[in-house]
Amino acid sequence: MKNSTLVNFDEAQENLSGDLLSSVLLPIPVDKTYNYIIPNNMNISIGDTIEVNFANRKSLGVIWDINKNNGSIPQNKLKPIAKAFDNCPQINKTTRDFITWVAKYTMSPLGQVLKMSLSTPEAFAEEKPIILYKKSSKNHDIKLSTSRKNVLKIIEDNKLYTATELANKAGCGTAVIKAMAEKHLLETEETSAPAPCTNPEHQEIELSNDQMQAATGLIQQINKQEHNVTLLDGVTGSGKTEVYFEAISKVLASDKDAQILVLLPEIALSQQFFDRFQTRFNEAPAVWHSAVSKTKKRKIWRGVAEGKTRVVVGARSALFLPFKNLKLTIIDEEHDPSYKQEDGGAIYHARDMAIVRAKIENAPIILVSATPALETIVNVRQGKYKSVILAGRYGGASMPDTHMINMRETPPPTRLSFLSSKLRQVLTETLEAEEQSLLFLNRRGYAPLTLCRTCGHRLECPSCTAWLVNHRSSNRLQCHHCGYGMIMPKKCPECEAEDSLALCGPGVERLEEEVQSFLPEARTLILSSDILTSETALNLALQKIHDREVDIIIGTQLVAKGHHFPLLTCVGIVDADLGLGGGDLRATERTYQLLHQVSGRAGREEKQGNVYLQSYMHDHPVMEALLAGDSDEFMDIEIEGRKQSNMPPFGKLAGLILSSKNERLLNDFCSHLARTAPRYEQTTILGPAPAPMAIIRDQHRRRFLIKTEKSINIQKLISKWLSLSKCPSQIRIKIDIDPYNFL
């Protein structure tokens, strides 16, 4: 810890020895450090977070290096460090090494990656003390109101309360509490909020023989006290979470300073997880994601950096927290595509970067999934990763039976129906049995397309090459890419024909309407991110399902993420082949994983589950694998296809996405890049071509795809290629190493 000093610029100039220069990395999209001189009265070292004056404003920065001033920079050209912070933990070497590695691999500016670690500037602000209230030691002979009497009845000797806690117990406002303190009816103490999750304690639970064997396998890898990667591969409902909780317990018990990171793909969907953690460890984990308040983030950031916070459960951004002693990382649902960060600054895959961080920390990492990613399976088969298998469901529950509904042979009963007669029948039977059903369709809203029956005009977003999705609940058309919305028009905006707009295709809202038409007595609920827009709303909806207040759940991929609904025995997947088009490298793999996860919601307790796949492509390998319950054969085919085409993980792939509002300028520059593209035997560069989403937010988009052998340094190749051309300021270039999304 360092003593901080606030430095006046003029005074500092007189107080500089000129011997030491600090290289300061700022959290801005630049790839270099800036030199600042260290005042004599300031004691700082590498890794300290400081404040400097930069571009006429104050900015946080991190001391990246300290060197002697060799006189190459005139003294009057140097600014002093403006401020060092009291008792502020350092960004330690492993975190700095990780930031450097991510920046180099993703070809992102170093400062941009640092920004992800310094995402909580509140951590460096002076902490406001918490005022606690206790019983006064003095006797007072004054008349008391009813509220004050209630407070004094409740308050106990030597016990401290916040104003809110005391007011809630007494049934009054906090103003009453504060007024009592002013009149010395209560005494106060100042304190600071403790770091979260400082003392988790393991509670013993009974594991099955399979779970205990799997936990033993994980602990054997952890006991090696070195970096290794282990896949925990277990079917849906096998109790994988309880197994890796055993591994967490082992690390916490064996090292009192150890810290653990658990990444979840959809943190807002994880209330069940937090409840289970609280039960198992008698303390809640520190929870890190974008919706966490600034006050809580401050405590978590400092608790992690100081080594006080033991367990963090978070979204992918938690990976960049400045852990002091990270001893175990767990990536739950490691196959999930949401681990790929594509918006904003650096483009990275959190699973892959977590493996790198674990290697830098020389610590083990556990990947958890019922449907492991193809890359993970290949690494297991090549011996790079270990694997632990959970082949059966917990408690004797069996896997659901899967049935195919060939929509070419058994189409829906009417032109405006989307559910087959068979699926309608099983929904009715499940309702009569007082069990729950789930209809899955990965399409939000009421209808994905609105067109004019008179002229054929399709209602598209004015800023994107995307159809506007109809939302019946709000009578609006919405773009799911840029957020543009409009009221549903009464006439065609092209030919002005009235009552000619037709809604084409189903969304989840339309499915609910159809269910209510033939099962009016069924209680339905839609699980979709555009309807359940807050964590509170989602948790209330999930609670209704658990309380048996819902008969039929209708949901998007929101329902696929590890939910456990004891009464859910029937799953119907509508448009099962929806994700198989578009030529995406991972389309078939992702579709299989998603549908397998959705299928796994059925029959997780004693009652047998059934899954019904509605498909127009019943003989597709994905459908055959789901029907047979054989993922190995499906993955064998996928792996062989990747190997033959030299695609990841057998080759390297990178995307170059160029965007601009000036389409002509964009096309000209892309043509220039194509002419200067490197031509090597082991390298193929495809493009430029319009991206499948050719316009987003009025930005025209073009894409290059670079494919190389594994031996090629693809980052060096791209860097050299781009250095040959000066990119116009009106054009933005995004580099995506290992692309997952080809839109």
- Tell whether 588 and 693 lie within a shared domain: no
**Residue 490 within a domain:** no
For residues 370 and 421, membership in a common domain is answered with no
pLDDT at 8: 43
Q: Are residues 36 and 172 in the same domain?
A: no
493, two tokens = 């905006």
Judge whether 379 lies within some domain: yes
Please indicate, yes or no, if residue 455 is contained in any of the structural domains: no
Asked if 233 and 329 sit in the same domain, the reply is yes
Q: Among 616, 639, 662, identify where a domain stops.
A: 639
Q: Is position 4 within any domain?
A: no
Please report whether residue 203 resides in a domain: no
**544-563 pLDDT, tens digit each:** 999 999 999 999 988 887 77
If we measure between CA atoms, which residue out of 656, 638, 641 comes closest to residue 714? 656
> What are the tens digits of pLDDT across the range 675-726?
999 988 899 999 999 988 899 999 999 999 999 999 999 999 999 999 999 9
Residue range 50-87, pLDDT digits in tens:
999 999 999 999 999 998 877 777 777 889 999 998 77
Asked if 99 and 166 sit in the same domain, the reply is: no
Based on the domain organization, do 627 and 721 belong to the same domain? no
Q: What is the pLDDT of residue 15?
A: 40
Whether 72 and 137 map to the same domain: the answer is no
- From 118, 141, 174, the end of a domain falls on 118
Same domain, yes or no: 50 and 165:
no
| pLDDT tens, residue by residue, 9-56 | 444 443 444 468 899 999 999 999 999 999 888 888 999 999 999 999
- Do 558 and 673 lie in one domain? The reply is no
| The 3-state secondary structure of 536-575, one letter per residue | HHHHHHHHHHHCCCCCEEEECHHHHCCCCCCCEEEEEECC
How far apart CA 592 and CA 630 sit, in angstroms, is 11
Give the residue ranges of DSSP H helices in 184-239. Answer: 209-222
Tell me which DSSP letter residue 407 carries.
T
Tokens matching residue 467:
């159809």
CATH of the domain at 720: 3.30.70.600
Domain containing 512 equals 397-447+505-639
266 and 366 in a common domain: yes
Angle between helices 240-254 and 209-222 (to 10 degrees): 40
Residue 615 has pLDDT above 90, yes or no: yes
Q: What is the CATH number of the domain that holds 107?
A: 3.40.1440.60
Residue 182 burial class via C-beta count within 10 angstroms: exposed 0-12, middle 13-18, buried 19 and up:
exposed
Q: Among 191, 225, 243, where does a domain finish?
A: 191
Number of structural domains, the chain?
5
By three-state DSSP, how is residue 611 classified?
Answer: strand
Say what the pLDDT of residue 194 is: 86
pLDDT computed for residue 157 by the predictor:
66
Residues 148 and 111 reside in one and the same domain: no
Indicate the range of 156-165, 272-281, 397-406, 441-450 predicted with least confidence.
156-165
CB 211, CB 391: distance < 8 Å = no
pTM summary value: 0.89
Does residue 464 sit within a domain? no
Residue 511 resides in a domain: yes
404-437 b/e (C-beta count within 10 Å ≥ 16 → b): bbbbeeeebeeeeebbbeebbebbeebbeeebbb
136 shares its domain with 225: no
Question: Which tokens hold the place of 689?
Answer: 């071509």
Tens-place pLDDT, residues 286-340:
999 988 888 899 999 999 999 999 999 999 999 999 999 999 999 999 999 999 9
Q: Is residue 491 part of a domain?
A: no
The mean-pLDDT minimum among 341-350, 484-493, 542-551 falls in 341-350
**Domain harbouring 634, CATH code:** 3.40.50.300
User: What value does the mean pLDDT take over residues 182-189?
Assistant: 89
